[in-house]
Amino acid sequence: MPEEDFHLSSHARSQAHISLANMTRLSGSGRAQGFYMVPRPDTYRPWWTREDGTLDTEKYLEFYDEFIRNGTTGQVAAFVLEPIQGWGGSIMPPDDFFPKLSKFCKERGILLFADEVLTSMGRTGKYLCMEHWGVVPDVVTLGKGFGNGFPVTAMVVREEYADAVDKISASTSYGGNPMACAAALASIEVIEEEGLLQHALELEEIFRNKMAGWPDKYAIVGDCRVKGCLMGVELVKDKKTKEPFDEAGRLVYQTAFRKGLAWIPAGHILRMSPPIIMPNEVAEKAMDIIEESIAEVQKRLGYG
């Protein structure tokens, strides 16, 4: 398997962060000792399936168990992962993955560390994305929407680990900056006052309804997925082989851009995280622009 199939994570760009992620092809740096990468379930591109073709979460856990016993010292400190892989392409796990992984970690004394820098603060319709699966991680990182534009991040641990954090006296020059804290608190107030968690779920409905028919209607659309305001549309050359269609991704982006819509292009996946304050009419219009662009590009490429 090519390495990039292993773990399409993104956590940040320092040596330790890169060691946690599959960003090595971007940065040119290697993974530090003691960091390992394991496959995580992707419902559209599963490695292990049941007889009916659906993803088999148990097989992933069996792999982790085997890997820990034979591929590591056996003393694993933590699983660090994004609840939904953002940069990796809005890749969503099956609903049973995190509850099962949480149990797996508890049984082995391994910490579950959720990097919610992208997925927290209402992005998926909850404060923490992990709430969707009823899982409380041991460690959580927050960022991006936490300060809503103001640069502020946080690491939150379960109460029982508060002493451990005290012991390492983790600090930075700007840690606890009062203005940053005020910005984060103000963001939470706005989320509450404007009912933005609920609104993100309303937007999800709009996105979901608009995208529902695309895989049947368009030859180049392999998969559409959404959770709150985190979306992914995979463009493929062939629905059976699921071969990524980078050119289609680039052209759909360019076509939509000319019609007034922009996002951060990401190869064959239309990967988007629109603002959770977006009015419903704007969300509907944006989805229509994307659909028109897909239809035009598909025709231009001779796919339908």
Residues that bind ligand PLP (CB under 6 A): 10-12, 82, 86-87, 115, 117-118, 143, 153
Where do we find the tokens 């897909």?
A: 294
Min. distance of Cβ 130 from ligand PLP in angstroms?
A: 13
**Smaller CB separation from ligand PLP, 1 or 264:** 264
**Smaller CB separation from ligand PLP, 147 or 222:** 147
Residue type, 124: T
Min. distance of Cβ 85 from ligand PLP in angstroms?
A: 8
Where do we find the tokens 């899982």?
A: 135
Min. distance of Cβ 72 from ligand PLP in angstroms?
A: 23
**Smaller CB separation from ligand PLP, 81 or 270:** 81
Min. distance of Cβ 119 from ligand PLP in angstroms?
A: 7
Min. distance of Cβ 214 from ligand PLP in angstroms?
A: 26
Distances (CA, A) of 266 to 90, 148, 170, 242, 252: 10, 23, 35, 16, 11
Q: Number of helices (H) and strands (E), helices first, in the chain?
A: 10, 7
Residue type, 184: A
Q: Which two tokens stand for residue 112?
A: 């579950």
**Smaller CB separation from ligand PLP, 115 or 223:** 115
**Smaller CB separation from ligand PLP, 123 or 199:** 123
**Smaller CB separation from ligand PLP, 200 or 230:** 230
Distances (CA, A) of 62 to 56, 58, 66, 124, 276: 10, 6, 6, 29, 37
Q: What is the Cα–Cα distance from 249 to 268, expressed in whole angstroms?
A: 4
**Smaller CB separation from ligand PLP, 11 or 100:** 11
Min. distance of Cβ 210 from ligand PLP in angstroms?
A: 25
Min. distance of Cβ 189 from ligand PLP in angstroms?
A: 22
Which residues does 291 contact at the CB level (< 8 Å), separation at least 6? 210, 214
**Smaller CB separation from ligand PLP, 147 or 249:** 147
Min. distance of Cβ 227 from ligand PLP in angstroms?
A: 14
What is the signed CA dihedral for 55, 48, 41, 12, rounded to 10 degrees? -160
Q: How many CA atoms lie within 13 A of 240 on its CB side?
A: 0
Q: What is the Cα–Cα distance from 286 to 100, expressed in whole angstroms?
A: 36
Burial of 59 (C-beta count, 10 Å sphere; 0-12/13-18/19+): middle
Exposure b/e, 175-214, CB count within 10 A at least 16 = b: eeeeebeebbeebeeebeeeebbebbbebbebbeebbeeb
What spatial distance separates the first Cα and last Cα of the chain, rounded to whole Å? 32
